[in-house]
Amino acid sequence: MSCQLEMVATIVGTGSTKYDKHPASSSRELFGEAAAEAFDGIDLTPADLDAVYVGNFMGDLIEDQGHMGPLLADHVGAREAASVRVENACASGGTAVGQAVHAIESGAAEAILVGGVEQMSIADIEHVTDALANAADDVYENEQGLTFPGIYALMARRYMHEFGVTEADLAAVSIKNHNNAVANPLSQFQTEVSQEEVLASKPIATPLRLYDACPVSDGASVVVVASESFAAAHDLDPAAHVLGTGQSSDAVALQDRTAITHTPAAERAATAAYDDAGLTPADVDVAEVHDCFTIAEIMAVEALGFYERGEGARGAVEGETALDGRRPVNPSGGLLGKGHPVGATGVGQLVELTKQLDGRHPNQVEDADVALAHNVGGSGASTTVTILGGA
């Protein structure tokens, strides 16, 4: 009963751990580190927050810890805030962002800490693989032995067949993103890779090789989202505005999809976000997209309307999505180069893009005014798209 006009959501603070193996740090420690950075230097304390939204995928499976909302809210000093864990597999972070924007726009909250966190490296890799498989359909995929490298390999194989794309084309995405990651201090990998190295890396699920896949990562990222009126009243300097959000879903099991060489949920989420923002793909200056595998970035840039279907590989192959290209994609290094602490990823994209819009990114894109984040859960069953504008 509290909706008011023009509760525009703005980003007034950001923080992130390095994405890396942090075997000695619990989720609460990682989240606390990211939150401390976000509040450093702004005239706001965690006790001022109305809410804390946490994207987390596998805390219960890895750390025996559910109920992360109040646990992390209390840990960062926001004990009384309305708090919640939002889970949408690898899109948990992006979904938490959307939920928070709704709460701001409804007038139910004026200042929200939206964060994501994942601790994966304390468990052995078989356990992590099992946990990740919870994002797929247990009955029709996992129990049949199909895990995510296999699922994306099926998509890649068919895509390559339909559109004449090669392993070298996939490799171009990996090379670009690993090379972008070098200058980003938050990246897990900070070494350039060559085409020769990518194509010589071991197959993990043919046609995908090791360098076609993102790593297992630990980390946390947060943004402080506030209404424009709250920011003004508290003398907070908005670093970016949320211009539009979109979310859509699809069948979880690949076998139930109408398409496996494009991503309808992402297309719908993008359309919704563009409509919400009153913008078109041509307006986007820089994007962070969900490149869990190289093929995923190719399908992402198509779903977002940057390329026609079957044309997405051109972005990396022809340098159009490179740092100095006409529309840079994943200047952070993406999931392939920066890393993928699952619940944190969708929020980390906003941390990166806020820096771009604020003119302080280590891989700064010139004249970036409109930025887009694309976050995917499972093999495309959940997708969120968030469009930010410079303040």
Active site residues: 90, 340
Binding mask 45-84 for its own copies (x = CB under 8 A): ------xx----xx-xx-xxxxxxxxx-xx---xxxxxxx
Residue 274 identity:
Y
- Window 281-320: residues binding its own copies (CB under 8 A): none
For residue 281, the Cα-to-chain-centroid distance in whole angstroms is 19
If binding is defined by CB under 8 A, does position 386 make contact with its own copies?
no
If binding is defined by CB under 8 A, does position 346 make contact with its own copies?
no
List 20, 33, 37, 105, residue binding its own copies (CB under 8 A): 105
Nearer CB in complex with its own copies: 115/328: 115
List 14, 95, 187, 261, residue binding its own copies (CB under 8 A): 95
Where does residue 383 fall: left (phi above 0), alpha (psi -120 to 50 degrees), or beta otherwise? beta
If binding is defined by CB under 8 A, does position 243 make contact with its own copies?
yes
If binding is defined by CB under 8 A, does position 222 make contact with its own copies?
no
Task: Find all residues with CB under 8 Å of 145, minimum gap 6, and list them.
Answer: none
Nearer CB in complex with its own copies: 77/325: 77
Distance CA 258, CA 219 (A): 34
Do the Cβ atoms of 66 and 85 come closer than 8 Å? yes
DSSP per position, 148-192: HHHHHHHHHHHHHHHHT--HHHHHHHHHHHHHHHTT-TT-S--S-
Nearer CB in complex with its own copies: 130/320: 130
DSSP per position, 223-253: EEEEEHHHHHHTT---SEEEEEEEEEE--SS
If binding is defined by CB under 8 A, does position 218 make contact with its own copies?
no
If binding is defined by CB under 8 A, does position 139 make contact with its own copies?
yes
- Window 140-179: residues binding its own copies (CB under 8 A): 142
- Window 4-23: residues binding its own copies (CB under 8 A): 4-8
Distance CA 139, CA 150 (A): 16
If binding is defined by CB under 8 A, does position 124 make contact with its own copies?
no
